[in-house]
């Protein structure tokens, strides 16, 4: 008898979850004409996504106005990184490029270039630095050109 009580509790919880699911999850969630669709899909949500504002535009969008930088970056070590990873989403790009605020913080570069050792991934192949020992407190762009990362440039300070 003492074994049946926990079983009843588990069955009651399962019933509550199934009842709650029928109220909160739309009927067309995860379904399509042919039945189950892989991933999170809701057919009635298509119009919402059509009206969704695109935040990131991609390298091609940036290259329309910044062809010189895009061409320079195409042969650099950072060629696989989208422009918006460092410069922010194109959605907030001002009409007047002179007012564009760039994130020149050290933390931006250290997201990828802090020395981390993951021997089973390609992360260990990215050139890393010790943030406490390598020019601590200075912006990386004072010495390095991100668009020409293979050629660090030392400037007079």
Q: What integer pLDDT is reported at residue 155 of this predicted model?
A: 53
Alpha-carbon distance of 9 to 33, in angstroms, equals: 37
Statement: residue 35 has pLDDT above 70: no
Q: What integer pLDDT is reported at residue 71 of this predicted model?
A: 85
| Residue in 28, 144, 130, 131 with CA at minimum distance from that of residue 78 | 144
Strand extents, DSSP E, the chain: 31-32, 35-36
Statement: residue 80 has pLDDT above 90: no
Question: What's the Cα-to-Cα distance from 51 to each of 54, 65, 82, 100, rounded to whole Å?
Answer: 9, 26, 24, 26
Q: What integer pLDDT is reported at residue 65 of this predicted model?
A: 87
Q: What integer pLDDT is reported at residue 120 of this predicted model?
A: 72
Q: What integer pLDDT is reported at residue 34 of this predicted model?
A: 63
Statement: residue 157 has pLDDT above 50: no
CB 139 within 8 Å of CB 105: yes
Q: What integer pLDDT is reported at residue 150 of this predicted model?
A: 60
| Residue in 99, 96, 101, 76 with CA at minimum distance from that of residue 86 | 101
pLDDT (tens digit per residue) in 88-143 = 888 877 777 666 667 788 888 888 888 777 777 676 677 778 888 888 888 888 88
**Where is 9: in which H helix or E strand?**
helix 4-24
Higher pLDDT, 63 or 41: 63
Domain ranges of the chain: 103-157
pLDDT (tens digit per residue) in 20-29 = 988 888 877 7
Q: Is the dihedral of CA 132, 134, 139, 140 positive or negative?
A: negative
Q: What integer pLDDT is reported at residue 49 of this predicted model?
A: 84
Cβ-based burial of 12 (10 A; exposed 0-12, middle 13-18, buried ≥19): exposed
């Amino acid at each position: 008898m003492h074994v049946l009580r926990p079983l009843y509790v588990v069955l009651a919880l399962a019933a509550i979850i199934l009842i709650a699911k029928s109220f909160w999850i739309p009927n067309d969630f995860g379904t399509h004409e042919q039945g189950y669709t892989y991933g999170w899909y809701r057919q009635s949500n298509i119009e919402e996504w059509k009206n969704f504002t695109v935040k990131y535009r991609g390298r091609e969008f940036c290259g329309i106005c910044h062809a010189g930088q895009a061409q320079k970056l195409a042969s650099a070590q950072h060629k696989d990184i989208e422009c918006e990873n460092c410069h922010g989403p194109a959605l907030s790009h001002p009409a007047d490029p002179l007012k564009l605020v760039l994130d020149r913080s050290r933390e931006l570069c250290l997201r990828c270039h802090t020395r981390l050792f993951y021997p089973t991934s390609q992360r260990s192949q990215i050139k890393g630095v010790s943030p406490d020992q390598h020019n601590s407190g200075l912006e990386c762009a004072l010495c390095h050109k991100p668009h020409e990362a293979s050629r660090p440039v030392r400037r007079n300070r």
